[in-house]
Amino acid sequence: MGVVPTPAIAYAAEQYGWVGIAITASHNVWSDNGIKVFASGGAKLGDAEQIEIEREWHAMVAEPVVRAEPIIHDATGIIGEYATHRLNIVGEALSGVRVVLDCANGAMSHVAPEVFMSAGADVSVIHASPNGRNINDNCGATAPQQLAAQVIAEGADIGIAFDGDGDRLIAVSANGALVDGDHIMAIAAVDLAHRGLLRNKGVAVTVMTNLGFHHTMRENNIDVVITPVGDRSVLVALDEFDFVLGGEQSGHVIHRAHATTGDGLLAALQLVEYITRAHVTLDQAASIMQTYPQVLVNIRTLNRVHDPVADIADQIAQEEAELGDDGRILVRSSGTEPLVRVMVEAADQISAESIAMRLARSIVEVHGGSIEGTH
């Protein structure tokens, strides 16, 4: 298929029943390249399947045997099919909207601008000159500051920042305000619900989704299923509960009626189509959800901690009781290194920071180590 967005590979796996493999650093720098694998049908492989593939791969590398000559087919035309499929969802509904696209010097560089222009938008593009090493380099969804400045400078209606492989997005309003995945999902969920298109009137989000999102869903009688971190976990929940919308705060948004994975282009088209149809600004649309201050603290422990909650359960319960409905606490271990992550949301920043630091100090007292910082 060549250099294409990861969602296009998932699309090919879905449409043609192929196994799809993407070599990508995702939202990271080029040197962090890894592999994403999609099963026939377009869903990402589960952990057990990936572990088994890695085991067999290492065995083959240790004792390489040529089993068959590969047959290579030219599938470069599928990127056009993918772009047309996404375009047909919104048609020419973006007429008159001024959009700035930050393509992260990545795989969306030669796809997203053409689709947005075909949909009728007045498009300006930055960071769309990939050279293989400048991907996600101080640009894109993980660094949208230049996009925000460009939106203001051009007087654009909205800015969209993709990550390098195009499976996530962050939006920027005309005033330069960042609009994350939680807000993008909240806007889509309420709109779909009002139009009778939110199947089973529910959404799937991860444990990191802001408390404000949950409050907005409750106010609109929309059910929320909470999953572990990762868009793969969200997809499992979407299929289990037969929902059509889910995602992550980081900008992975899955419109399950149209895709099998997070797709920044699809989510961006849907978002811009909504503000055009509703005749609202992005700031007005995003006001549907209040963001609660969220503080994250990493504690590097002396050893891996498998159940960081158990030793401070009473303290967590006490802090949660004081927060009531105006806050939330999440304590979890990293799956890859000796880190414990504390997340606290509260009605104000000072309260969130105070609670997070009290819990972090307690974890250090029990397990040793040090606090690495807050953000």
CATH of residue 250:
3.40.120.10
Residues 6+ apart with CB under 8 A from 96: 120, 122, 276
Q: What is the pLDDT of residues 165-216, one digit of tens each?
A: 999 999 999 999 999 999 999 999 999 999 999 999 999 999 999 999 999 9
Q: How many distinct structural domains can be found in the chain?
A: 4
In whole numbers, what is the pLDDT of the chain averaged over residues? 95
**Residue 69: pLDDT band with limits 50, 70, 90:** confident
Whether the CB-CB separation of 206 and 222 falls below 8 Å is answered with no
Strands, E assignment, the chain: 20-24, 34-38, 98-102, 122-126, 158-162, 169-173, 178-179, 202-206, 223-227, 245-247, 253-255, 294-300, 328-333, 339-345, 370-374
Q: What residue numbers bound the domain in which 223 lies?
A: 181-263
| 128/190 same-domain check | no
Does some domain include residue 281?
Answer: no
**Residue 260: pLDDT band with limits 50, 70, 90:** very high
Does some domain include residue 215?
Answer: yes
High-pLDDT (> 70) share of the chain, %: 100
Does some domain include residue 270?
Answer: no
Q: What is the pLDDT of residues 110-168, one digit of tens each?
A: 999 999 999 999 999 999 999 989 999 999 999 999 999 999 999 999 999 999 999 99
Last residue of a domain, one of 15, 31, 62: 62
Does some domain include residue 166?
Answer: yes
Whether the CB-CB separation of 170 and 153 falls below 8 Å is answered with no
| 171/185 same-domain check | no
Last residue of a domain, one of 219, 242, 263: 263
| 151/216 same-domain check | no
330 burial class (0-12, 13-18, 19+ CB within 10 angstroms)?
Answer: middle
For the annotated catalytic residues, the residue numbers are 26
Q: Would the pLDDT of 67 be above 80?
A: no
Does some domain include residue 70?
Answer: no
Please state, in angstroms and rounded to a whole number, the distance separating the CA atoms of residues 130 and 105: 4
| 185/152 same-domain check | no
**Sign, Cα dihedral of 350, 351, 354, 359:** negative
| 239/298 same-domain check | no
Whether the CB-CB separation of 5 and 166 falls below 8 Å is answered with yes
| 298/363 same-domain check | yes
- Read off φ and ψ for residue 297, nearest 5 degrees: -125, 130
Q: Angle 225-231-236 (CA atoms, 0-180°, nearest 5)? A: 55
